[in-house]
Structures are given as C-alpha cells and as structure tokens.
Amino acid sequence: MQLIENAENQGFVHAVNQGMAASDNDVVLLNSDTVVPEGWLDKIVAAAAQHPDAASITPFTNNGTICSYPNFCENNPLPEGLCLRQLNALCSEVNDGAVCDLPTAVGFCMYIRRKAIEEVGYFDEAGFGRGYGEENDFCMRATAQGWRHLLLGSVFVFHEGGVSFGDDANELQNHAMQVLEQRYPEYRKIISEHVSLDPARKLRENIDEARLSVDGQARLVLMESRARFNKLSTELKINAEAQEKTEHLLNHELQIARDFGKDQSLQLRALEKEMGSLETYAENRAAEATEYAGRIRQLEATATQLGENLRSMSERIGQYDLRVEQYDALLEEARGAYRESEAARRDLISINSALTQEKAALQQDNDELRSFLTVRIQLKLLQLMGKR
C-alpha cells in the first residue's frame, strides 16, 4: 500500500489524479464519508470483468442521487432495523450481478477501468478545481468514445454525504453544473431522461420485495411506498395545477393570437392588393432589367472587340516602334555620312581654291615665260640678222 501526502491542500481533483497516476491498475474512488461492506470490491471487480465495455461502475447507496435507495434521487438514511451488512446482503441476494446503464457515475464510490483512463485521460483539474463535477465530465468524455457506465445492484455502500466540502459544497456544485452545461449543452436533458425512465426501479423493487420477508421491514417498506406515493401524488397535483395554469394561459394567449390573426388577415388582404401593384411594378422593372441586360451584353461584346483592337494596335505600335528605332539608326547613319560629305565638300572647295590660285600662278608664270621666250627669240633673230 502506498500513502501519498501533500504539504498543502491542492483539491480533490488533484489528489485523485495523483492516485490514478501512481498505478497502472484499475481504480476505485471512495469518499472519506463512506462505509463499505465486506466483499464489496470483489463484486465490483467481477462485474467489471463481465462488462468489459464499462468505463465506470457505481454501487447502490443511501445518498447518491440516481444511485440512491430506497428513494430514487434522494438523500436517505439506512432503513430502520437494517444495518449496512444486512442491506448489502439483500442486494447481493436479489440483484446478483445485475446492472443497469447510467448516464454518469456518482463519485462517492466509483470504479474506473484503466483502459478508459488511458483513452479518455485523467480528471480535469483546471476545469473543476477542488471538486464536484469532475467525474461527470470524465463520464461524458468516455461516453463520447463508446464507453458505458453501470449501476451495480448487488452492492450497497453507505454514504454520509455533504462532509467532504462542508459549507463550500453548494458553491462548488453550482460552478460544476455551469461548466458541465457549457461543455455539454445536452447534459441536463440526458439526466432528465434517465430520471424519467428510471431503469434502476426494478433493482430497487427487488430489494423492497426481499425486505418484506425480514422482521419489521414490511411495515417500513409499506411506509416508504406510501411516502413515495404521497410524494408522487403531490408532484402530480402540483404538475396538474401547473398544467391547468399553463392551459389557462395558453387559452388566453390563443385568444390573443386569434384576435391578432384577424387583424393580420385584414392587413394581409391590404398587403395582397399592394403586392399586386408591386408585382406589376416588379414585372416592369424585370422587363427593364432584361433590356438592360441585353445592352450590357452588347457593351460587353463591344468592349471585347475594343480589347482585341487594342491588342492589335499595341502589336502594330510595337512594330512601328521597331521601325522608328531602325529609322533613327539609319537617320543617324545618314547624318554621319552627311557630316562626312560636308567635310569632304569643304575640303574639295579648299583644294579647288588652292588649285585655282595655283593655276593662276602657273598661268602667270606661263605668260611670263612666253614673254621671256618671245624676247629671247627676237634677240636671237636680231643677232642672226646682225651677223649677216
């Protein structure tokens, strides 16, 4: 046996998770305000073996809501004249191994299968703090993964109730219910349907029948039955009165609805006339809309054609741009040639001017030479004539 102690109180949920984490076996959670009969655990383990799809198993108790006996969903004392051992023996005798399905286990004495813990996880410490509601949350998660929760009718565990959390119990319970309803909006409906069907009734009736053969218990069973009957009668009376009030209220509301319906009928006829005008107006607008749609299609076709023209013009502009670039290159080349020809022309003019000057000089020299030669010739002729 292993005892785990914490230096500070960290809450019930934390302690439970510590215990579950300390072992690889199945788990039984047992409140400190419970008393268990001899052989209780062996019977629970045997039931678990018979129902491998059960994530949790809860026994009968005097104070355990949907697992309560003798009165369902009530806090009961042990039946007068019966000790826990005797009552547990009767349960074992008449409900040997008998079970019924529960929507959730009740945490006063809760067997939990290890495989379910491995698949579903531990209790939610962050969501439920010190306690209350953590086992319901676990069971809802387990149900979502296909697990069942069972009431074992052959074991009875005494539960004092209201001891573990003292004055804080109501506050913790309210908080737990808020969290459960937020996470599982269908939770109240599931519990309400279970209470209405009460599948454990047969198991409780078996115990009542067995108590009839025990000295002094027949009178108590009868009294308990009468109390349940009186309670049921009171509830039925209250429900009938509430139903009568509801019917009266509904009849009143029905009359109001009928009057309202007449008024609405008059308004409806007026609206029908107005609707006729609106329908004509709508038809005219629809015709206009059809015409506009035709125009829009024409505009879309025109826009498409313009787009194609624009693409064609873009291609042509691209070609023109290429030609302009080529023309600019040729023009620059021509300008270069022109500049070269101009330079050559200027050189030619300069050369021509120089040649003209040279020609004039040569002409002058030639004239001078001719004059000189003429004079020489004349002198030569005069010489010759003088010799004669």
Residue 45 lies in a domain: yes
Per-residue pLDDT at 166 exceeds 60: no
DSSP secondary structure of 60-85: EESB-GGGBSSSTTSB-PPPTT--HH
pTM of the model: 0.62
Q: Within 13 Å of residue 55, how many CA atoms lie on the same side as its CB? A: 27
Residue 139: its pLDDT value, please?
A: 97
pLDDT higher than 80, residue 54: yes
Is residue 120 in a domain? yes
Give 228-271 as a DSSP string: HHHHHHHHHHHHHHHHHHHHHHHHHHHHHHHHHHHHHHHHHHHH
Q: Which of 3-17, 89-103, 252-266 has the lowest mean pLDDT?
A: 252-266
Strands 27-30 and 54-61: unpaired
The total number of structural domains that make up the chain: 1
Would 354 be classed as within a structural domain? no
Confidence of residue 316 (pLDDT cuts 50, 70, 90): confident
Q: Is residue 109 part of a domain?
A: yes
Euclidean distance between CA atoms 175 and 134, whole angstroms:
11
The confidence score (pLDDT) of residue 355 equals: 82
Greater model confidence, 238 or 30? 30
Percent of the chain with pLDDT over 70: 97
> Do the Cβ atoms of 207 and 69 come closer than 8 Å?
yes
57 has pLDDT over 70? yes
Q: What mean pLDDT is predicted for residues 224-234?
A: 80
**Most confidently predicted of 46-60, 224-238, 369-383:** 46-60
Mean pLDDT over 257-264 rounds to: 81
Domain CATH number, residue 157: 3.90.550
At 168, the pLDDT band (50, 70, 90 cuts) reads low
- Record the tokens describing residue 241, joined without a space: 């009165």
Other Cβ atoms less than 10 A from the Cβ of 214: the count is 16
Structure tokens at 162: 């209201």
Average pLDDT over the chain, rounded to whole?
88
The pLDDT value recorded for residue 58 is: 98
Does 190 map to a domain? Answer: yes
Band of residue 162 on the pLDDT scale cut at 50, 70, 90: low
Q: What is the mean pLDDT of residues 341-349?
A: 84
Give me the pLDDT at residue 235, please. 67
Q: Percent of the chain, pLDDT > 90?
A: 45
Q: Which helix (H) or strand (E) holds 100?
A: strand 99-101
Select the more confidently predicted residue: 177 or 247.
177
Residue 388 above 70 pLDDT?
Answer: no
The pLDDT of residue 52 is 97
**Residue 249: pLDDT over 60:** yes
Tell me if residue 104 falls in helix, strand or coil.
Answer: coil
Give the per-residue SS3 of 281-304: HHHHHHHHHHHHHHHHHHHHHHHH
Quick check: is 168 in a domain?
yes
- Average pLDDT (282-305) is 83
Q: Is residue 353 part of a domain?
A: no
Residue 67: which domain range? 12-215
- If one compares 373 and 111, the residue with the highest pLDDT of the two is 111
Question: 381 pLDDT exceeds 80?
Answer: yes
Per-residue pLDDT reduced to its tens digit, 117-157: 999 999 999 888 777 889 999 999 999 999 999 999 999 99
Lowest mean pLDDT among 59-68, 69-78, 126-135: 126-135
Q: Does 134 fall in a domain?
A: yes
Q: How far apart are the first and last CA of the chain?
A: 183
